Amino acid sequence: MKMSGGVEWAVHCCVVLSQADRPVPTARLAEFHGVSRTYLAKNLQQLSRAGLVRATEGRVGGYELTRGSGEITVLQIVMAIEGEDPAFQCTEVRQRGPLAVPEEACLRPCGIARVMAAAEDAWRDSLASVTIADLAKRLDVETAGSALESMRGWLGGR
Amino acid sequence: MKMSGGVEWAVHCCVVLSQADRPVPTARLAEFHGVSRTYLAKNLQQLSRAGLVRATEGRVGGYELTRGSGEITVLQIVMAIEGEDPAFQCTEVRQRGPLAVPEEACLRPCGIARVMAAAEDAWRDSLASVTIADLAKRLDVETAGSALESMRGWLGGR
């Protein structure tokens, strides 16, 4: 079970966008992260489709967050890239074989599916408890202010 | 991010094995679940490699749990099928680009990797809190004893 590498890029991009005071072109985000523009473009489009960023056109065209960074959670970004489906898909094994439970008797999800769903909920709750603003703030504290300052300086210098 | 379908079969097989008083042949487990023997054989081999079940040979050859069902957790089964690697793999994006953090300054994992690891821990803790014995007991309670009794009857009738 592997998370797409795009999630990592997407979260990093959102942290950078949270420090920008104007839209940041894809090429500039790609340059900042030392990665190909094509690769990043796909992830940014997925973030855009999920309504987390929006593309602006014109001379200062680029991407910007659609709302405050305190209102964008890591879970939202993961879902934007990975999709909303839970990792475990119950195929109703209990309804098979010689002791099959009739479908009409399956009023609740299978006990195994419930255990998997509870674990998925715990994972989602954990990711939903952290916003982009939290990530930026932690980075700020851990680098005594230097990381975000450098980031804003670099973003401003174009 | 999808969990392999093998996990579902493997957990169901372990619940069945927890009700058997002697080794259960693969063919019999396959018959019980209405699934192909070849498909199940692969999952059982993975469980065996992880030390959760063992194959016995001879006239009553088949699979049995290696320990009490209260000592086998859903997490152990998921890891046996999916492997031990966490879903998120940090590729050190922070060490790239014009503001790259030097490797020697990366004393702690990246903040984004830490958020992902905390969520993975929450997921694993949740799955580790449920044993095969718990699943069997819940099934027993929800079917007023009939499901496990039928299972044991079917397993004994060979």
For the segment B67-78, what is each residue's pLDDT rounded down to a tens digit? 999 999 999 999
Lowest-confidence segment of A32-36, A93-97, B55-59 by average pLDDT: B55-59
Question: Is A157's Cβ below 8 Å from some Cβ in B?
Answer: no
pLDDT at B85 over 80: yes
pLDDT number for residue B7:
97
Tokens of B32: 């019980």
* Segment (H or E) for B62: strand B62-65
Give the A window 42-71 contacts with B, CB below 8 Å: none
Tens digits of residue pLDDT in A88-140: 999 999 999 999 999 998 999 999 999 999 999 999 999 999 999 999 999 99
Distance CA B33, CA B19 (A): 15
Q: Pick A122's closest partner by Cβ from B74, B122, B147.
A: B122
pLDDT number for residue B134:
98
pLDDT (average), residues B99-105: 93
The fraction of chain B above a pLDDT of 70, given in percent, is 99
- Residue of B12, B116, B139 for testing the chain A interface, max A β-carbons within 10 Å: B116
> For residue A93, how many C-alpha atoms fall within 13 Å in the half-sphere facing its CB?
25
The fraction of chain A above a pLDDT of 70, given in percent, is 99
pTM for the full predicted model:
0.94
A111 by Cβ neighbours in 10 Å (0-12 / 13-18 / 19+) ranks as: buried
Shortest alpha-carbon distance between residue B71 and chain A (Å): 17
Q: What is the CA radius of gyration of chain B?
A: 20
Size of interface A-B (CB pairs under 8 A): 151
Distance CA A92, CA B3 (A): 15
- Residue of A4, A96, A115, A139 for testing the chain B interface, max B β-carbons within 10 Å: A115
Q: ipTM for the complex?
A: 0.95
Question: Is B149's Cβ below 8 Å from some Cβ in A?
Answer: no
- Write down the mean pLDDT value for chain A: 95
Contact A112 B12 (CB under 8 A): yes
Contact B3 A33 (CB under 8 A): no
pLDDT at A158 over 70: no
pLDDT number for residue A61:
82
pLDDT band of residue A24 (cuts 50, 70, 90) is very high
Closest among B84, B88, B74, B57 to B12, alpha carbons compared? B74
